[in-house]
Amino acid sequence: MEIRKPLLILIAIISFSLVSFLKLLSGLPNAIDTGAHLFRLIYLKKHLQEGIVPLWNVDWYAGAPFLLLYAPLAYYFSSFWPIGDYIFLYKFLEVLFETFLTVSVYFLSKTVLKKRELALLSTFLFVIVPQNIWNFSVVDRFPTLLEAFFFVSSLMFFIKFLSFQKSRDKIISGIFSGLVFLTQGFGYLLMLIILVFFKIIAWKKCKVKDLFVIILISFLVASPWLILSAGSFIYYLQNPYEMVWMVRKFIDVPRMGAILFSLGLPLVACLFLKFNLLKRLRYSIAICLILLSLLVFFVQIPLKYNITKPIISAILILTAIVVITTNRNIYKFNELLKYLFYLTIFLVILSSSLFLYSFTFLSFLDPYRVAFYASIPLAIISAFILQKNRVGLTLSIVAILVVSLTFLSTRYTKMLHIDENLIATLKNSPEEGRLLMIEPELWMHIVPALTNKPSIDGFSPFERFLPYFRNLGFSNNFGLWFEGTTLEQKQEVYNQIFLNVSKFAIKYIIIADNSPIKLSEYLEFETIYNQNGWKILKLKQPISFIENGTLTKISPNELLIYPQGDTLLLKQTYFPGWQTSCGKIKKSVDGLTIIENKNCEKIVLKYNPLSALPQLSFKS
């Protein structure tokens, strides 16, 4: 199959024009140099017109993969150069990382697709497709070579299908396209538009029904995530001012499962086909995998993330099934064995790092970030190994060492000093309650040190710090999603938290002496610790947030209320997640929740985050 160069140039011009037009619509060219987060940035334009300029429009939500390099490099820039955190350096690092990523994608494409023209085409398509156009993503806010592997694989099998017209290649191309959907989010839709355009202009041998089958398979692979994401987006549109419990990690579960099942398991089967010894022992290995899966699922293991257990358990079960059925032709990739090995080995790092994360000194870090810090360099090395490019391989290894050393030198690793007296004060506190951390980035080492004090649970109102505090051996975990990074926005968030100390079962507050966050005057507290510039405040009296009722029990996940009258009013409460044992919950409006009392002597309100998923999936 040949693609004429004039057509390639024409397609490039039209595709680039389309992306530029979408960027122009957002009105924020500085924030979307990579075309990412278009929906959010269009929404942001409304705030800008109202005179609100959140910092994240040029920072956290810029959607740039260079964030992996920005943190460590910006640390050195800001240390030795007073203007190191200014925007032009930020943009310089973005360009630097994008260039590195683009070169790596080209080498991979040239190796796999064999032709320079196709490699250029693949690289160009990958660069112009918006990365992570929606915030829900397996790779979170860090687009990586993960998408490049899936994208190039999809294109490779698609080209094989055009050449040999085998249904198997068409199906595999659809599976990889679905993985592109899962990793690139709705930026994948732009890729579909471009593929349809290719079919009309260049690929005459591709029938419309074949392209439709590939697209349908990709949607089926991504369907569990699509249902949850669509429901979540609808709920967000209907309730834009509610503080919604974080569901992204639950939405990620089916996506990660689909990726590991579609890509990782054929690798396991290929390995069994290649080695006769493994083939003879496959039933014994399968039984061991099943037993290990049950052990992980049912035995109490102190994992940092609750979702880690079902993911690992499901992977082990599915791997056992693949091992047993390894003679099926669907798994016989043969000549692609080496390619699949390099393609999937970093996924093993991803899943294993989530498990090992619980037992390493990196427990203060987000496991997803740890996983991708480890997997991206391996993916880059794999691309250069496949290309047999010694210079590129050497440069990539040097770059990886630089990134690793700078990462270990950032402020995250310099805040490991633990004040033993402060921790002892919290451990010896007789009363139960949640620990509110003002500016939580300063206290990420506190909660892991309290694992033998389950009555105190860390609470962070800012989503980006939740991974540091959640499921650290506690049963009462809680977190909300707030947006805003300016001091004024942070202060307003904490003001809302101070109004809801009872609802959130907050008993203790940890704050630095020089913290810019000001505590509300109506809070009554006593200082139980004040050393080394840090304070622990113990609240004396909770603030009532219930009208027409008496609150007799407060715990992090349960409230016991005796209603008075036909209507119970809860102030500053948010959905989804709360369930009532009696009565009917009316719609929450501006932080007020109305409960109709239907002859209830008492009402038990329980907070269950999982109960939010059906609402987010099917609410319309």
| Higher-scoring residue by pLDDT: 340, 104 | 104
pLDDT-derived band at 603 (thresholds 50, 70, 90) equals confident
Per-residue pLDDT at 403 exceeds 60 = no
Question: How far is residue 363 from each of residues 120, 346, 354, measured CA to CA in Å?
Answer: 41, 20, 10
Q: Which two tokens stand for residue 288?
A: 């061991």
Q: Which of 85-89, 352-356, 366-370 bottoms out in mean pLDDT, i.e. has the lowest?
A: 85-89
Q: Do residues 243 and 590 touch, judged by C-beta distance below 8 A?
A: no
Q: Do residues 261 and 318 touch, judged by C-beta distance below 8 A?
A: yes
d(CA 481, CA 461): 7
Q: Which two tokens stand for residue 164?
A: 């040999």
d(CA 219, CA 292): 32
61-77 pLDDT tens trace: 333 333 333 333 443 44
pLDDT at 273: 64
How confident is the model over 83-103, as a mean pLDDT? 47
d(CA 437, CA 444): 9
d(CA 97, CA 65): 7
Residues contacting 318, CB < 8 A, separation 6+:
260, 261, 265
Angle at 413 between CA 409 and CA 419, to 5 degrees: 140
| Higher-scoring residue by pLDDT: 592, 38 | 592
pLDDT at 596: 74
Which of 304, 251, 297, 308 lies closest to 612, judged by CA?
Answer: 251
pLDDT-derived band at 60 (thresholds 50, 70, 90) equals very low
Give percent of the chain above pLDDT 90. Answer: 0
Give, for 604, the enclosing helix (H) or strand (E).
strand 603-607
Strands ordered across the beta sheet of 592-596: 546-547, 567-571, 592-596, 584-585
pLDDT at 6: 55
Does the pTM surpass 0.85? The reply is no
Give 268's strand partners: none
Per-residue pLDDT at 527 exceeds 80 = yes
d(CA 176, CA 151): 7
147-192 pLDDT tens trace: 666 777 777 777 778 777 788 778 878 877 777 777 666 556 666 6
How do 456-459 and 549-555 pair as beta strands?
A: unpaired
pLDDT at 140: 37
Question: How far is residue 383 from each of residues 52, 109, 347, 396, measured CA to CA in Å?
Answer: 44, 9, 15, 10
Centre a 10 Å sphere on the Cβ of residue 361 and count the other Cβ atoms it contains: 8
| AA identity, residue 178 | G
Per-residue pLDDT at 523 exceeds 60 = yes
Q: Which two tokens stand for residue 9?
A: 């140039």
Q: Which two tokens stand for residue 99?
A: 């260039």
Q: Do residues 595 and 583 touch, judged by C-beta distance below 8 A?
A: yes
| AA identity, residue 482 | F
pLDDT-derived band at 245 (thresholds 50, 70, 90) equals very low
Q: Which two tokens stand for residue 64?
A: 């740039």
d(CA 400, CA 396): 6
Per-residue pLDDT at 591 exceeds 60 = no
Q: Do residues 95 and 87 touch, judged by C-beta distance below 8 A?
A: no
Q: How many Å is the maximal CA-CA distance in the chain?
A: 78
pLDDT-derived band at 561 (thresholds 50, 70, 90) equals confident
495-514 pLDDT tens trace: 766 766 665 667 788 888 87
pLDDT-derived band at 242 (thresholds 50, 70, 90) equals very low
Query: Based on the number of CB atoms within 10 Å of its own CB, is 203 exposed (0-12), middle (13-18) or buried (19 or more)?
Result: middle
SS3 488: helix
Question: How far is residue 35 from each of residues 21, 68, 128, 141, 529, measured CA to CA in Å?
Answer: 10, 18, 8, 13, 48
205-230 pLDDT tens trace: 667 777 788 888 888 777 766 665 56
Centre a 10 Å sphere on the Cβ of residue 61 and count the other Cβ atoms it contains: 22
How do 506-512 and 433-437 pair as beta strands?
A: parallel
| AA identity, residue 332 | K
Ramachandran angles phi, psi of 48, nearest 5°? -65, -40
How confident is the model over 444-463, as a mean pLDDT? 52
Q: Which two tokens stand for residue 529?
A: 């610790």
265-308 pLDDT tens trace: 555 666 666 667 777 788 888 888 888 878 776 765 544 444 45
pLDDT at 314: 63
d(CA 197, CA 14): 10
